[in-house]
Amino acid sequence: LSPCALGAILNPQTIPKLNCKVICGAANNQLAEDSRDSKLIHQRGIIYVPDFVVNRMGIVNCADEQYGRLLCDPAIERHLGWNWDHAIGPVVQRFLEDSKHSGRPPLRAAADRAEALMQQQHPIWPGRAKAIAQEVWQKLSEA
């Protein structure tokens, strides 16, 4: 199944009706409630690849478009191959293996990996992510 248009289509009413081995689509917020619905999918033995992994190329494209386009752009191609540690394939493979070994739903394994990566210093802008998060938190607290 490849949800690519509507959010919240995976829920307690639809999940029992699924007849697929894998869910991998680019729609945002495919699960009506992340924790509950990812567990339901996991209990059914269906592999779930979270939207934030699948649709990340939209963000990559937006970030890179200011520099222009190449027909076979190496900055894009490295995300689609297997030779870069952070390419989509190796990332999916790692969190699915982690899910299998830990028994956690793939969404939890992928989110834990993403949270760990967010704690690392960016090589060009160290501390930037933390500063942005603090600024957002401050603005939310003031609202």
Which of 8, 15, 2 has the alpha carbon at shortest distance from 105? 15
Distance CA 111, CA 53 (A): 10
Q: How many CB atoms lie within 10 A of CB 105?
A: 21
Span 76-88, average pLDDT: 91
% pLDDT > 70, the chain: 100
What 3-state class would DSSP assign to 31? strand
pLDDT given at position 61: 83
Span 100-104, average pLDDT: 96
Position 63 confidence tier, pLDDT thresholds 50, 70, 90:
confident
Lowest mean pLDDT among 30-44, 56-70, 99-113: 56-70
Lowest mean pLDDT among 14-18, 63-67, 136-140: 63-67
- What pTM was computed for the model? 0.80
Beta-carbon contacts of 93 under 8 Å, excluding residues fewer than 6 positions away, are: none
Residue 122 has pLDDT above 80, yes or no: no
Supply the mean pLDDT for the chain. Answer: 91
Lowest mean pLDDT among 5-19, 26-40, 117-131: 117-131
pLDDT given at position 104: 96
Strand partners, 106: none
Span 39-67, average pLDDT: 90
